[in-house]
Amino acid sequence: MLQTLSIKQFAIIDELEIHFSDGLTVLSGETGSGKSIIIDAIGQLIGMRASSDFVRHGEKKAIIEGIFDIDNSKEAISVLNELDIDIDEDFLLVKREIFSSGKSICRINNQIVTLQDLRKVMQELLDIHGQHETQTLLKQKYHLKLLDDYAENQYSRVKEQYETTFNEYKEKKKELEELQSADQALLQRLDLMKFQFEELQEASLKEGEITQLESDIKRIQNSEKLSLALNNAHVTLTDEHAITDRLYELSNHLQTIDDIIPGRFKKLKEDIDQFYYTLEDAKHELYDEMSNTEFDEQLLNELESRMNLLNNLKRKYGKTIDELITYQSKLESEIAKIENYEESTSQLKEEIDLLYEKVIKYGQSLSKERRIVARTLRDHIVAEIQNLQMKDANLEISFQPLETPTIEGIEFVEFLISPNKGEPLKSLNKIASGGELSRIMLALKSIFVESRGQTAILFDEVDSGVSGQAAQKMAEKMRDIAKYIQVICISHLPQVASMSDHHLLISKMSKNDRTTTQVKELKKEDKIDEIARMISGASVTELTRENAREMIAQNHK
């Protein structure tokens, strides 16, 4: 949720800080007081296009900062981790600086990010809905996702089975297309691949060979030093002062002690005996090793030549030896495919046909499951719309077959609406009436508010063109949504304002011969006066105040 909004030198705003809470927050004020400017400022935080017109006249830059609580947004945290943005606590600091040149800088937790990355994060936190905006929920390409989200994994197994098969089908088709595009360039590539394969095959590459070569070369190059060390070590164990002889004597002495004082030095004697046998074994190992330490110039030349060959191959191909072994295997497979073109294409076509049959089969199963859920969703949406005083509205979820399957399925899914009795079903984005569009959007948002994962939603005068009982129902619906996520609403309707948990009044004032916007949180009587103004549209009287009190009391029962 949005906790704090700080705005500096933005449009007519000099400096402003607004603190938001959870639940339903209403922003009201006279026309032209600056409500839309605050929406524009929040829009900059979610990645909307910046303009030099946003910078207050005479200033170099505008600054908008927002602090968001992301404790309950797993989706946003996942995106932040994906973008490698540090998260120290459960709060996110988002900052946008807009310069008079029109350029802007975006920061998240003091890390500079691209506008695209800013949008990617913020779409998981905040959604701005204005009456005349083209909304995600209206676009057909998102309707299938909304249906799948609503299903809540009811057919996830079938969907995963379809997607896996479809991806295999696409991979095989791509493989076939690559083979069918064989031309002179491919034949030239075949010659190159054959040359590379033969070169690598002749090299007889082995995993870990370089490490062994380095060890062997080092041994031969230091054979004289090694031989001397081995000989000295062996003499230490075999000369007249050999440590093993002294240990043998020590063991005998300890045995004599043990005969007299049983157990007193038994553990020490066992340790001495073990050490004695260890050194005896070492004596033989050192002797055996001494016979293998002669300097062999021919072998050294062979090993160094082999090392040069491997290093040249590594430089030439830009790969490690282990990667070259994998590459050699891949070359062999690719060469076989090209050389057996007819056989390969024939086999691929058979595999593609079989996979296509599976795609259609699983696609039909997926569509069947989706249609079952779609009936429930359709009834849910219709109930929500009709509850918003559109008694004759009807909605259907249309399924139309696609010419070719896609990763999403084998059918085209779209929500079609008939706002009034006798009107044909048509696309959501073709609704002409602003009031109808607002109510339909509110109904859809109330259904999908949980599945979309966002933590805040901002309604920008979506109640325009609505009055009476419809306005009351819209207010109730906003309050319902506010039970799940933070709702910030700019409204002219007293019904909505009276339903609010928090009420902020936006107004303009003159300061130092310049106009600026200010925000005041309304409490008790001030809130009553503002709602009374919204009811009357003119001067506030005791009667309108009483109406406001009654409306607040009724809506908070």
| Residues 115/70, Cβ–Cβ less than 8 Å | no
The number of beta carbons lying within 10 Å of the beta carbon of residue 358 is 17
85 phi and psi angles, rounded to 5 deg: -100, 130
407 CB-contact burial (10 Å; exposed 0-12 / middle 13-18 / buried 19+)? exposed
Instruction: Tell me the backbone φ, ψ of residue 387, rounded to 5 degrees.
Output: -70, -20
Cα 452 to the center of its chain, rounded Å: 14
| 13-19 sheet: strands from edge to edge | 13-19, 2-10, 61-69, 91-99, 104-108, 111-113
| Confidence (pLDDT) at 156 | 93
Most confident of 145-154, 161-170, 239-248: 161-170
Q: How far apart are CA 491 and CA 22, in angstroms?
A: 17
Neighbour tally for 172: CB within 10 Å: 19
DSSP label at 265? S
CA–CA distance, 519 with 531 (Å, rounded to integer): 16
Residues 6+ apart with CB under 8 A from 300: 217, 220, 221
Token pair belonging to 486 = 């933070």
Closest to 356 in 3D by CA, of 179, 165, 177: 165
Distances (CA, A) of 492 to 297, 488, 489, 530: 96, 13, 10, 10
Residue 88: alpha-carbon gap to chain centroid: 18
Sign of the Cα pseudo-torsion (299, 302, 306, 311, in order): positive
Query: CA 320, CA 323: separation in Å to the nearest integer?
Result: 5
Residue 446 has pLDDT above 90, yes or no: no
Angle at 192 (CA atoms; ends 186, 198), nearest 5 degrees: 135
| Closest listed residue to residue 525, CA positions, set 499, 500, 552 | 552
Lowest pLDDT segment from 121-125, 129-133, 519-523, 529-533:
129-133
pLDDT in the model for residue 463: 66
Helix (H, G, I), strand (E, B) or coil at 108: strand
* pLDDT at 295 (0 to 100): 57
**What is the three-class DSSP state of 65?**
strand
- Report the first-to-last Cα separation within the chain, whole angstroms: 26
Per-residue confidence (pLDDT) for residue 296, from 0 to 100? 64
Residue 406 has pLDDT above 70, yes or no: yes
Predicted local distance difference test score (pLDDT) of residue 256: 82
At 102, list the tokens: 């029109």
Confidence (pLDDT) at 136:
63
Q: Place 134 in a pLDDT band, splitting at 50, 70 and 90.
A: very low
d(C-alpha 506, C-alpha 31), whole Å: 10
Q: What are the tokens at 423?
A: 């009107």
Sign of CA pseudo-dihedral 288, 294, 296, 300: positive
Q: Within a 13 Å sphere around the CA of 378, how many CA atoms are in the beta-carbon half? A: 18
- Among 36-50, 260-274, 532-546, name the most confident range: 36-50
pLDDT at 414 over 80: yes
Angle, in degrees to the nearest 10, between helices 223-238 and 209-221: 70
Residues 6+ apart with CB under 8 A from 43: 128
Question: According to the model, what pLDDT value does residue 324 have?
Answer: 92
Residue 104 pLDDT? 92
- Long-range pairs for 182-190: beta carbons < 8 A, 24 or more residues apart: 182/338, 182/341, 186/338, 190/335, 190/338, 190/339
> Virtual CA dihedral for 251, 254, 259, 262, nearest 10 degrees?
-120
- 232-246, 486-500, 511-525 — most confident range: 486-500
Closest CA to 490 of 459, 534, 445, 529: 459
274-284 mean pLDDT: 84
Q: DSSP letter string over 77-97? A: HHHHHHTT----SSEEEEEEE
Q: Is this prediction's pTM over 0.75?
A: no
The model's confidence at residue 366, banded by pLDDT at 50, 70 and 90, is: very high
> For residues 95 and 113, is the Cβ–Cβ distance under 8 A?
no
What's the confidence (pLDDT) of residue 133? Answer: 47
* Residue 412 burial (C-beta neighbours within 10 Å; 0-12, 13-18, 19+): middle
Q: What is the pLDDT of residue 458?
A: 85
Q: Is the model's pLDDT at 158 over the cut of 90? A: yes
Helices (H) and strands (E) in the chain, counts: 18, 15
Ordered alpha helix ranges (H), 482-541:
494-498, 524-536
Q: What percent of the chain has pLDDT over 70?
A: 93
Mean pLDDT of 319-346: 84
pLDDT at position 167 is 96
267 pLDDT above the threshold of 70: yes
Find the mean pLDDT for residues 436-465: 75
Check whether 432 has a pLDDT greater than 90: no
pLDDT tens, 506-520? 988 887 777 888 889
- pLDDT of res. 135: 60
- Asked whether the predicted pLDDT for residue 131 surpasses 70, the reply is no
Alpha helices (H) in 204-265, listed in sequence order: 209-221, 223-238, 243-260
Which pLDDT value is given to residue 293? 65
Nearest residue to 435 via CA among 390, 501, 397, 372? 390
What is the average pLDDT across 498-508? 91
* pLDDT for residue 404 is more than 90: yes
* Cα torsion through 161, 411, 407, 430, rounded to 10: -140
The mean pLDDT of the chain is 85
Range in 100-114, 273-287, 458-472 with the lowest mean pLDDT: 458-472
In this model, does residue 61 exceed pLDDT 90?
A: yes
Determine contact, residues 302/192, Cβ cutoff 8 Å.
Answer: no
SS3 content of the chain, % helix, strand, coil (to 5): 55, 20, 25
- Pull the structure tokens for residue 435: 């009031």
Residues 332 and 416: their CA atoms lie apart, in Å, by 55
- For the stretch 209-222, pLDDT in tens is 888 888 777 777 76
Instruction: Output the pLDDT for position 35.
Output: 85
